[in-house]
Amino acid sequence: MARGVSTVLDVAVCLLLVGAALATLSGIPPSPAAQSKVDADTAARTVATTTTGVPVDGRTRHGTLATQLADAAVAGATLDDRRLVETAYDERVVDATEAETDDRVFVTATWEPYPNATVSGRLDAGRRPPESADVATTTLVVDSGVDAPTASTFDALARELAAAVVDRLFPPRRTRAALVDPRTSARAATRYRTAAARLGVDVDRAVADADADAANEALAAGLASRFGPELRDRYRTPETAAAALTADKVEIVVRRWDR
């Protein structure tokens, strides 16, 4: 197995203190020998601070590689190993990440509303390290854009979490504008119908009326029916379930190794 060192980097700190961010790293301290051979912090800083533009849905989304990776991990979320929505955004984010990092860097972005949730997203960029390599890792924690639920019962937690996920995938104001614009209406309707088919709900009337709120409510109801039983089965109380939620975060692991 590859030997590794691991550190954790707060992206917000890195963005504010680019020059000194690595001094704030915390986690398992690397041994002097390991650090002299391989270091993932420079690659992680590149991911955290490099700004790029990625085309998506007829526009260009600007942001750091870290925020793009986080957005793409959520956008590419799957249910039962099938995507909730079809998008090429994640592939373009992978291309942008690989263009800014060398061939000894492997980046993984993972989003889970809670551990082993029925819906999750993962994005890999770069080449996987060889099994024989000495691998260093740095972990970035990035805001997912999904609001953290605050409800106090299992059912309310499931509903609030589902609504937050759906609104992240289908921002109501922007999606309604897309539904009424002849240039984007077909694509927006297809995205809704794909998600509805995955969740077993009907959004045809809402989509025809360009009613993004109603369409989102239908999708959220379907998703809540998945979240609710899982939360009840896995956690003893709503409080422990709420404490386990990680929907508001994306974990990005940057690995680097020597040849």
User: Can you give the pLDDT of all 259 residues of the chain as single tens digits?
Assistant: 444 445 555 554 343 333 333 333 333 344 444 444 678 999 999 999 999 999 988 889 999 999 999 999 999 999 989 999 999 999 999 999 999 999 999 999 999 999 999 899 999 999 999 988 899 999 999 999 999 898 999 999 999 999 999 999 999 999 999 999 999 999 999 999 999 999 999 999 999 999 999 999 999 999 999 999 999 999 999 999 999 999 999 999 999 998 7
Predicted pLDDT at 142: 97
Q: Categorise residue 253: left if φ over 0, alpha if ψ from -120 to 50, beta otherwise.
A: beta
Predicted pLDDT at 24: 31
Predicted pLDDT at 258: 82
130 token code pair:
């060889």
18 token code pair:
């680019």
Kindly state the greatest CA–CA separation across the chain: 64
Strands 135-143 and 249-257 come out as antiparallel
Predicted pLDDT at 57: 81
Q: Count other Cβ atoms within 10 Å, centred on residue 35.
A: 13
At which residue do the structure tokens 């993932």 appear?
A: 40
Determine the 3-state secondary structure of 90 from DSSP.
Answer: helix
Predicted pLDDT at 237: 96
Rounded-to-integer distance, Cα 73 and Cα 246, Å? 14
